[in-house]
Amino acid sequence: MKYVTRFRAAITATVGFAIVLVLWQVIGSAKLLGPTFPPPSSVIASLTVPYRRHLYIRASLATLSTAAWGYGIGQAGGLATALFGHLLPFSRAGLDRLASVIHAIPMIALGPLFMAVLSPAWAGTAIAAIGVFFVSYIAGCTAIESAAPTHRDLFQIFGASPLRRLWLLDVPSALPALVTGLRQAVPVAFLGTILGEWFGSAHGLGLLILSAMENFQIALLWSTVILCCGLSLVIFVLLGYVERIVGRHYR
Amino acid sequence: MRRFLARWWGPCLLLLAWQVGVQASGVNQIVMPHPMAVIMDIASNPLVYGRAAARTLLVAVPGLTAGLAMGGMLALLCQFSAVMEYLLTPLAMMLSSIPVVAIIPVLSRLFGYHMTTLVVIVAIICFLPAFVYMHAGLRSVPAGSLDVFSVFGASARMRLLLLRLPASVPSCMTALRIAAPTAILASLTAEYLMQTGGLGALFRITTAEFRSERAFGCSLVAMVLSVCCFFVALHAERAVTRRWQ
């Protein structure tokens, strides 16, 4: 029964997606919404045209490396802060407040700050890191507390050393929440990078988006945005698979 | 005072680090203004900042409202039709895995550079969390309550009105909390890109002119605005959830 429902859901989603694509194609090629709504065929043509391949690859690599640095720094910072708050409980209320303030700060408002403090190339990394930090801090706090108290008591009763308990209980039970945090931080890292690249970076997908927008290159604009979203989507889905495997093993 | 410090030591520390950092490194005021200079600029030009902030709020608040309404409506639609459910759920999943704010350039070209475009953009971006949370909320009915309703022969409309809608209220408030800072971020970003007034446009112009006190002031005002919106939404969520349980 469950498989039938899932099958029907998949079929409906595929049909719906196809209908949207066809509608998009019709509206786009008839220019019903004006010249700024291109049909998918011309977006794909712009995405696959040979002379732009090099441009896309270079821009994607630049954005990916900026995003990866921001992602790594943000994750490390967030998890370290969560651990710090766990070890020193009196700092926890302040850390929570700080994290929610950081979360509420609009990423784009950080642009001038990081442009002044860092080089333009690192502004994207820094903004991405700030965004990832919050997601990772929340995931870290959930992860640390996810071992069941009864299991902890069991380890205590059998006289396990703290290190042994950490390795055999705390780390395995923290893994699922950690991987969820890893997955949810992916679009945030991309967003931070793109916003950073809008503040005068010399390369990357963000710059390509901005210049295509300002020069009215509509097909290029759409294809770059789709490329960027596609990259984020692929990494997100891959981490989703990792999450499922980890969840099956450790939950 | 102690309670204040226990909660707010983080931002205070950041402000202190800024002042100390500027003084210790001796960088030019144009590159990195003193916090005092920025605060003085805000205090002596309240009208400039106030007008820009009001304009940003005038975009963010209607956009947020429209986005929440749209998300709620579609979530309700999913309750009535399985086809809608199968169509919309994958879409929502896909939207949550991409950097949605990065599609603002596409939307701004699509709808043209107007004030209404800004509102539409904010609404589209706020729609996603609203839909996801309200959709989950409509399904989070207490265990067994659906059985009770069917035993007493309640109609689908009764079930919706008396069970699902009340059950979804806490999730609606969560959606508001998640979407409130997003609305500010989206309107700032759209204003920044389209330069149609508001704080976002003001700090793009002042950054380009190297009036860094004004640019930092805009950043600071935007941050305070966003943080305030977030905490108002957070307290509203807590108040409603407490009363509801």
pLDDT in tens, B191-242: 888 888 888 888 888 888 878 888 888 888 888 888 888 888 888 888 888 8
Q: Could you tell me which of B61, B67, B126 has the C-alpha nearest to residue B100?
A: B126
pLDDT for res A171: 80
Residues B177, B178, B179, B183, CA torsion sign: positive
- The reported pLDDT for the residue numbered A64 is 93
Q: How far lies A72's CA from each of A85, A182, A189, A238, B214, in Å? A: 20, 10, 10, 17, 33
How high is the pLDDT of residue B115?
A: 81
| Whether residue B26 has pLDDT greater than 80 | no
Burial zone of A243 (CB within 10 Å; 0-12 exposed, 13-18 middle, 19+ buried): buried
Three-class DSSP labels, A9-63 = HHHHHHHHHHHHHHHHHHHHHCCCCCCCCCCHHHHHHHHHCHHHHHHHHHHHHHH
B30: confidence class by pLDDT, cuts 50, 70, 90: low
Say whether residue A88 is in contact with chain B using an 8 A CB cutoff.
Answer: no
Residue A23's pLDDT is 86
Residue A131's closest CA among A63, A195, A64, A57? A195
What b-and-e string marks burial along A115-143, b requiring 16 or more CB atoms within 10 Å of the CB? bbbeeebbbbbbbbbbbbbbbbbbbbbbb
A76 in B contact zone (CB under 8 Å): no
Pick the CATH number of A38-250 from 2.40.128.30, 1.10.3720.10, 3.40.50.10300, 1.25.10.10: 1.10.3720.10
Q: Using 50, 70 and 90 to split pLDDT, how confident is the model at B245?
A: low
Q: pLDDT tens digit string along A138-150?
A: 898 888 887 778 8
Predicted confidence at residue A251, as pLDDT, reads 62
Mean pLDDT of B14-36: 76
| Beta-carbon separation of A104 and B226 below 8 A | yes
Give pLDDT, residue A2.
Answer: 61
Please tell me chain B's helix, strand, coil percentages from 3-state DSSP, rounded to the nearest 5. 85, 0, 15
DSSP string, B113-129: SSHHHHHHHHHHHHHHH
Residue B230's nearest CA partner among B170, B183, B169 is: B183
Q: Nearest CA of chain A to the CA of B161: how many Å?
A: 26
Buried b / exposed e over A155-168, threshold 16 CB at 10 Å, is beeeebeeeebeee
CA distance to B69, B73, B133, B156, B168, per residue, from B162 (Å): 20, 17, 19, 10, 11
Mean pLDDT of B108-120: 84
DSSP one-letter code for B45? -
Distance to chain A for B11, nearest Cα, Å: 6
- Distance of alpha carbon B169 from alpha carbon B118, whole angstroms: 28
- Residue ranges of domains in chain A: 1-36, 38-250
A93 inside 8 A of chain B by CB: yes
pLDDT exceeds cutoff 70 at B143: yes
CATH superfamily of B35-244: MetI-like (1.10.3720.10)
Task: Name residues 112-171 of chain A within 8 A of B (Cβ).
Answer: 112-113, 115-117
How would you class B137 by CB atoms within 10 Å of its CB: exposed for 0-12, middle for 13-18, buried for 19 or more? buried
Q: Establish how many alpha carbons lie within 13 A of residue A37's alpha carbon, considering only the half-sphere containing its beta carbon.
A: 17
Of chain A, the percentage scoring pLDDT greater than 70 comes to 98
In this prediction, residue A213 carries a pLDDT of 86
Q: How many CB atoms sit inside 10 A of residue A77's CB?
A: 17
Q: CB A65: neighbour CB atoms within 10 A? A: 14
Assess whether pLDDT exceeds 90 at residue B97: no
Q: Kindly give the parts of chain A with pLDDT less than 70.
A: 1-3, 251
Mean pLDDT across B88-104: 81
Is any Cβ of chain A less than 8 angstroms from the Cβ of B113? no
Q: What is the ipTM of this complex?
A: 0.81
Query: Residue B104: pLDDT band by 50, 70, 90 thresholds?
Result: confident
Which two structure tokens, joined as six digits, stand for A220?
């290029």
